[in-house]
Amino acid sequence: MSSSAESRQARMIDELRVFIKKVLSDPTIAVKSVEIARKHRNEPKANEVIAREISANTTIRIPENWSEADHMFLDILHEVLDDEEALY
């Protein structure tokens, strides 16, 4: 693995560690994030709207220029909603 790939991977792991610590310290973050994603998932530019509202209503900050971890978080939110929808 190249040093730039290793550096990118280390940065992503660090960002995910901080995110997991926030979620564990405030369990309402997960609930609020899913509710926000559910509300906006079918809108044009849904991810941008979801990211802005999560940033405004939780301690999670998703900047305008998303990192790989930010993309992963938004993708996982959609997967959770897809799984939820499949149950019904």
Are 17 and 43 in contact by the 8 Å Cβ rule? The answer is no
pLDDT value of position 1: 65
**Token pair listed for 71:** 């993309």
**Every domain of the chain and the residues it spans:** 3-87
Are 61 and 55 in contact by the 8 Å Cβ rule? The answer is yes
CA distance to 4, 12, 13, 87, per residue, from 16 (Å): 18, 6, 5, 28
Closest-CA residue to 60 (of 28, 12, 14): 28
Span 22-74, pLDDT tens digits: 989 998 999 999 999 999 999 999 999 999 999 999 999 999 999 888 999 99
